[in-house]
Structure 1
Amino acid sequence: MPPAAPRPPPEPGRGPDLGPFGAITRALSHRDARIFFTASLTAWSGLWMHRIAVMWLAWELSGSAFWVGMVAFADLAPAVIFSPIAGAVADRMDRVKLTMIAQLAVAAAALCTATLTATGHISVMALIAFELMGGIAQSFAQPARQAVMPGLVPRADLPAAVACNSLCFNVARFLGPAVAGPMVAVWGVVPAILCNVVAYTVATLTLPMLRINPIHRRGHPPEGSLLSEMLEGIRYAAAHPGIGPILTFAGITAILLRGVQEVLPPFVERLFHQGPGGLALLTGAIGVGALMSGIMVASRGRLTGTTRIAVMAAAAQAVVLVAFVATSYFPFAVLCGALYGACSSAHGISTQTLVQSAALTRMRGRTLALWGLITRACPALGALVLGLSGEAFGMRLPTLAVAFLAMGVSVWGLMHMRAWAKHLEHPSEAGGT
């Protein structure tokens, strides 16, 4: 019997093959990564419970798609101003301490919302104010948390760790609504918002347990003013032949496609005639789709082909969105929601993996802050546009319009993705160390 052929060596940027879930297994084999991802899952589950509760609270207070969009805009829009600043701050100070301060601020804003709601003193304007506070804090927490990730695992396992981090977010996107929907329906919004307070507090208390290499925990000594370093980060990302285009593509498609998820209550009630239970079911379906897709993408654990996934997932999401608003049959809409979540997850995990792997270590905080700006500010802008246009034209026509625009943008991405991949999927050549 001839000897078995030797197994090929792993490709660059990929650890040894451990089976179909090898990438996830590798990421979770490290103590600090397990602590980090458990804290992330806890915090993000609370965050999604908060979002479901706040969206429904805004709808109950106003009955207006515009004001629901404004509340979503208030939570996500601060990233436009504060994400570049936060990235520069994260690149010049202790990132763990910055994360702890920012996460406690998120918990404090949620506690204020819950208190005013419980005492009957909440208003749409107060809700917007507290969402602004939470949004500013999230803008600082996001780049600081993600910038320490290379200190949790060996470099070969970084793509797996980035994918696992995004997978935690998508697991939370399923768990949070699954718990919050029945909770809101039975007990109202206050318990769900308080769960977010507890979740962020607990997640913050785990951070001192992390043993992170000082190279990744602390940013570089200040080399100039905060403004000059912030602008340096923007120039670096814009000039990079891979990072600049993929972030531009992600930003445009996020404006056009992601806003729907931030203003779901008007869709649920006006198009499908459902209540809080329907909102929770639809949001949960989005989370289930994102979870399944996230597991598949995270299990790859390699960079090769990731650019193609990022672009094609956005194109597929546009097609799914057309099907979602073209129907009035809620079960089919739930199926579309699952596919929408799957596409969104595949695009997001792939884009973040590419950007984090290709960015220079000293520029990582600022580069990831721009990714944070895209994931928060761009959906906020899309939600505001849908909220405004939805009041004038209904929810269906404006959504169809942005979906077809996204298809056009996707054609541009499909035409250029091979060129982008040359600079994103080979970080050693792109200066990603």
Structure 2
Amino acid sequence: MRFFSPRWLARQASRFDALACRDFRRFTYGNGVSLIGTWLQRVGAGWLAWEVSRSSVWLGVVAFADLFPTLLLAPLAGVMADRCDRRKVVLYCQCVAMAAAVLQSGLLLAGSRSLAWLLVTTSIAGIANALCQPARMAWISSLVPQRRLASAVAINSLCFNLARFAGPAVAGVVLLEFGTVALFGLNALSYSVFIVVLMRMPAAPMPAGTAPSARWLGDALEGFRYVGSVAYLRGVFVVTAASAVCIRGIPELAPAISEQLLQQGPRGFASLVAAAGAGALAGGAWFGGRDGARCVATLIGRHVLAASLCALALALTHDFRLALALFFAMGFSVVVTGIGAQTLIHLSVPEHLRGRVLGAYGVIFRAGPALSALWLGTAAPLGGLRVALGLGGLLCLAVCFVASDRVRRVLRKLAWWR
């Protein structure tokens, strides 16, 4: 049999050989716990905003407050990842995010369900995550030898997608049994676990000499200039940006989709988010089980197209089970697209620029869904939620059809990346 043969098992084991590195193993465990907590809080913030306001606009605003700081801070965060001790950057950002979770938990325990305070704490956590993300992603290359870098990237992506599944699944149970406050409290606890792990790890090696402060603004834009100058990176960024801005914000509207379109309650909301997380986990596992350097252009084009079609189908369906399947498929396709882009960056971008290019990618990865959730949530009261979902899918399809042939031609010029 092809599966479970000694050769197949050896090949699967080699995909996880980065875990043999002690520091990377510690980082992965702590990071995984922290990411699960982040998803707990994200679900809690979305449900609290919906419970208080019953407005899709507020859902979009809260998601925007969490993710939009990346658009403003990603260039600075990329320079920090290239110029500073990455361990310290991650550590300090985790402390700030934990303080925000503790503050929101205290407010809820005191009986305050203020949307203004929710925006404040969500924005603080968003700023901390925006500054942390490039350093957290770029640090991976310092924790493993070069021959295990592909394995480390795959494991890190799988860890993130496992959190996307486990976080909402756990959040649904906690939300029903203990209420929203428990989600924020558990998130604060998850940050403390990662902080302890980080304090026990050695300082990260400096990837480049520290630049004078006067040069930081120019350095901050260098990642964007590099992406614009490299044709295959520019193509990947165009396609992933279309997906992020047009349809990635749909899971943030799950409370409104559950109640307004499908007539489900909090259980339906938790199920939809968990289905998207399960699809993301399956997509991460599937990508990790293939040769990541083959047919990336085709994969990205196909999966952005698939996610667009899922958004269109979601706008038309009234069946809850079909909606679950569509959320699963959307999660799968979005993650395959994202992992393909991240793998390309890690394997092809020079070490001294990797943090800044990952910072530029972070604009798409985090700020794109924020813009998506904001405009979808704002458009829903004007033309209806179904119209907003359908419009997002159509816009993404249009960009895909215009750009896909051009992008594939550019990427296929790289023989090693076909």
Name which of 365, 389, 398 aligns with 2:388: 398
Name which of 342, 356, 361 aligns with 1:371: 361
Once the two structures are TM-superposed, the CA of residue 24 in structure 1 deviates from its matched residue by 3.0
Checking the alignment, whether the CA contact within 8 Å between 2:60 and 2:373 is kept in structure 1 is yes
Cα distance between partner residues in 1 of 2:113 and 2:209: 43
Q: Which amino acid aligns with 2:225?
A: R
Q: Does 1:297 align with 2:290?
A: no
Once the two structures are TM-superposed, the CA of residue 178 in structure 1 deviates from its matched residue by 1.0
> CA deviation digits over 1:329-381, x for unaligned, max 9?
10111111111111111111111111222211111111101111111111111
Once the two structures are TM-superposed, the CA of residue 141 in structure 1 deviates from its matched residue by 0.7
Give the aligned partner of residue 4 of structure 2.
none
Q: Does 1:94 align with 2:82?
A: no
Give the aligned partner of residue 122 of structure 2.
131
Give the aligned partner of residue 235 of structure 2.
245
> CA deviation digits over 1:261-291, x for unaligned, max 9?
1221111110011111111111111111111
Checking the alignment, whether the CA contact within 8 Å between 2:85 and 2:203 is kept in structure 1 is no
Q: Normalized against structure 2, the TM-score is what? A: 0.93
Q: Does 1:115 align with 2:106?
A: yes
Checking the alignment, whether the CA contact within 8 Å between 2:84 and 2:206 is kept in structure 1 is no
Give the aligned partner of residue 221 of structure 2.
231
Cα distance between partner residues in 1 of 2:229 and 2:252: 31
Give the aligned partner of residue 18 of structure 2.
27
Give the aligned partner of residue 383 of structure 1.
373
Q: Which amino acid aligns with 1:228?
A: G
Cα distance between partner residues in 1 of 2:314 and 2:64: 22
- 1:293–1:145 distance in 2 versus 1, CA, 3 Å: same
- 1:297–1:23 distance in 2 versus 1, CA, 3 Å: farther
Cα distance between partner residues in 1 of 2:148 and 2:83: 25
Once the two structures are TM-superposed, the CA of residue 403 in structure 1 deviates from its matched residue by 0.3
Give the aligned partner of residue 152 of structure 1.
143
Give SS of 2:16's match. helix
Checking the alignment, whether the CA contact within 8 Å between 2:85 and 2:204 is kept in structure 1 is no
Cα distance between partner residues in 1 of 2:415 and 2:177: 48
Give SS of 2:264's match. coil
Name which of 306, 313, 316 aligns with 2:303: 313
Give SS of 2:197's match. helix
Q: Does 1:343 align with 2:355?
A: no
Q: Normalized against structure 1, the TM-score is what? A: 0.90
Checking the alignment, whether the CA contact within 8 Å between 2:16 and 2:155 is kept in structure 1 is no
Q: Does 1:36 align with 2:49?
A: no
> CA deviation digits over 1:127-146, x for unaligned, max 9?
11111111111011100111
Cα distance between partner residues in 2 of 1:230 and 1:394: 40
> CA deviation digits over 1:158-201, x for unaligned, max 9?
22221221111110111111111121112110111111111112
| Identical residues among aligned pairs (%) | 34
Give the aligned partner of residue 55 of structure 2.
64
- List alignment gaps of at least 5 residues for structure 1: 1-15, 428-433
> CA deviation digits over 1:107-154, x for unaligned, max 9?
111111111111112311111111111111101110011111111222
Q: Which amino acid aligns with 1:84?
A: P
User: How many equivalent pairs are there?
Assistant: 410
Once the two structures are TM-superposed, the CA of residue 237 in structure 1 deviates from its matched residue by 1.7
Q: Which amino acid aligns with 1:358?
A: S
- List alignment gaps of at least 5 residues for structure 2: 1-6
Q: Does 1:220 align with 2:209?
A: yes
Give the aligned partner of residue 3 of structure 2.
none
Q: Which amino acid aligns with 2:238?
A: T
